[in-house]
Amino acid sequence: MKTANTDSMSWKEAILNTKGPTNLKDSIVLFIKGLFMGAANIIPGVSGGTIALITGIYQDLLFAIRSFNIDTIRYLKNFQFKEALNTIHLRFLFVLSLGVAVAIFSLAHLMNFVFVNYPIFTWAFFFGLIIASIVVMGLRINHWFGAGGIAFLAGTAGAYLFVGLIPVSTPETWWFILFVGGVIICTMILPGLSGAFLLLIMGKYEYITGAVKNPFIWDNFVILSLFIVGCGLGVIIFSRVLSFMLKSFENVTMAMLTGIMCGSLRKVWPWKEVVETKMIRGKEHIISEANVFPAQLNTEFWIAVLFALIGLVMVFVLEKSAAEN
């Protein structure tokens, strides 16, 4: 990869030379999209990848992640930090990540509150959000017959079966922790799948969150280091695979991603019945649920419908905003 001559550049110039928003308005828009991605990442059954898709920055996100490559590592190894910066879409990743981080830290308690106190209304809102996302993505698919239709059905069936899995017991060896990190991080850029839920499925929710609680204990530090390395390797490899698929088989890939969102609706159906729970560090976590139909069309039902419609409208507004920008 060719890079600009950074010998005479200041650090400010080197940073401004990286790819990203070119003015304050574009930075604010990208930051807001990061806020929505961060909010989605803390919602079971919804991922930041879904928001990236519907706001039109999905491919930009993949390209930005891919910008960290062998040239970057070579420059860092030789302490050529300005040259390393020049290979990365730093301004794009910084603004987007800032939005994600602000949302996660500011909304975590709020999301916990609404899920605990208003679960049906909250799930209804996100059900509407994903329904609208499916419509938006479906309109971007040119050919539904043949490979596109098969990919859509495969994505739908795969996601539907996945979100219905029951957590299993898995090993705690170093290679499996690397593997878990690599798989979990993929949910950040794959629409419709929740990283927290995937941790439960892989039997490592308690293991990883327990390590996060006391990160400076040596054993926990090693666990988290392996997990983070796995995340780094996973996102670098997976972003390249997705990028290649979108470039070479765009219609089929988009159809499969739309199918994944469709299958994930099983997880966000508002009316649920708890089948199995598990105590994790003194807190009860739902392991298995069954979707049920509302018992009656009462006031609660119509309020839930209203929240679903709000979710629908928000997605269409986001999509229109993305198209104008």
pLDDT at 313 over 50: yes
State the DSSP code for 44: T
pLDDT digits (tens, 9 = 90+) for 95-106: 998 988 888 777
pLDDT at 2 over 50: no
What average pLDDT does range 179-204 have in this prediction?
A: 74
pLDDT at residue 301, as a whole number? 92
pLDDT at residue 310, as a whole number? 92
Q: Which residue has the higher pLDDT, 49 or 262?
A: 262
pLDDT at residue 1, as a whole number? 47
State the DSSP code for 194: -
pLDDT at 45 over 70: no
Q: Tell whether the torsion through CA atoms of 210, 215, 219 and 222 is positive or negative.
A: positive
pLDDT digits (tens, 9 = 90+) for 128-163: 888 887 888 788 788 888 888 999 999 999 888 877
pLDDT at residue 7, as a whole number? 57
pLDDT digits (tens, 9 = 90+) for 203-249: 777 678 778 777 888 888 999 899 989 988 888 888 788 778 878 88
pLDDT at residue 321, as a whole number? 65
Instruction: State the Cα–Cα distance between residues 24 and 33, nearest whole angstrom.
Output: 14
Mean pLDDT highest for which of 21-25, 67-71, 195-199, 269-273?
A: 269-273
Write the DSSP assignment of 66-128 as a string of letters.
HTS-HHHHHHHHTT-HHHHHHHS-HHHHHHHHHHHHHHHHHHHHHHHHHHHH-HHHHHHHHHH
In the chain, the largest separation of any two C-alpha atoms, in whole Å, equals: 71
Q: For the chain, what percent of residues have pLDDT higher than 70?
A: 82
pLDDT at residue 307, as a whole number? 93
The set of residues, in sequence order, having a beta carbon less than 8 Å from that of 140 and lying 6+ positions away, is 254
- The set of long-range contacts for 2-8, using a CB threshold of 8 Å and a minimum separation of 24, is 3/71, 3/83, 3/86, 3/87, 4/86, 6/82, 6/83, 6/85, 6/86
pLDDT at residue 36, as a whole number? 81
pLDDT at residue 309, as a whole number? 94
* Averaged confidence pLDDT in the chain: 80
State the DSSP code for 20: S
Instruction: State the Cα–Cα distance between residues 282 and 255, nearest whole angstrom.
Output: 42
Instruction: State the Cα–Cα distance between residues 98 and 33, nearest whole angstrom.
Output: 10
pLDDT at 50 over 80: no
pLDDT at residue 305, as a whole number? 94
